[in-house]
Amino acid sequence: MDTLRGQLLIASPRLPDANFYHTVVLIIHHDDQGAFGVVLNRLANNTVAEVWEMIADGPCENQQPINLGGPVAGPLMALHTSEACSENEILPGVHFTTQKDNLNRLVRERNHSFRIFSGYAGWAAGQLENEMQVGGWMTLPASDEYIFGDAEGMWKLASQEVGEGITFPLLGDVDVPDDPSFN
């Protein structure tokens, strides 16, 4: 079985689950027992500072929004670039953590990129593979630009990149304009 760890799942318009409408999910773990990941392009109404006020001992001034990682409740999690706070390296230079001490350190330091997630997306054994087989998800290698980039246009950008990856090789050396109206 090929693992999807470190890959992006881009929700297809065929995916019937409203929880994943126009989402981009980074797969954190995937094996024959199942998979889990976090939605990269859903933001909560709460900021890191607001959440830290409720759960931590000291104040935090970080105004970055919390990400809604998916429909399954779980501990707060972070994707980040701080090797010192890493529990697991997902991609070269992109790390994952759930430990409270690491999360506290991440939100207070300003010398690295991070995203905090509340909740996650999870699949039982074979469930994700079945959803992919019926066309529910498209895949794309993950990159820092998606993981730490702007959530607003992420689904459209990722969908376009997948589409170009399918069509451009079929066109060969044809010069394709950026704007199709110029054809």
pLDDT digits (tens, 9 = 90+) for 5-46: 999 999 998 888 888 999 999 999 999 999 999 999 999 999
* Residue 183 pLDDT: 54
* Residue 37 pLDDT: 98
* Residue 169 pLDDT: 46
3-state secondary structure labels for all residues of the chain: CCCCCCEEEEECCCCCCHHHCCCEEEEEEEECCEEEEEECCCEEEEEHHHHHHHHCCCCCCCCCEEEECCCECCCCEEEECCHHHCCEEEECCEEEECCHHHHHHHHHCCCCCEEEEECEEEEECCHHHHHHHCCCEEEEECCHHHHCCCCCCHHHHHHHHHHHHHHHHHHCCCCCCCCHHHC
* Residue 172 pLDDT: 57
Which CATH number is 7-179's, of 1.10.10.10, 3.40.630.30, 3.40.1740.10, 3.20.20.140? Answer: 3.40.1740.10
pLDDT digits (tens, 9 = 90+) for 131-171: 999 999 999 999 999 999 999 999 999 999 987 755 544 54
The pTM of this model reads: 0.87
* Residue 179 pLDDT: 64
| Separation of alpha carbons 95 and 81, rounded Å | 6
pLDDT digits (tens, 9 = 90+) for 41-91: 999 999 999 998 888 777 788 899 999 999 999 999 999 999 999 999 999
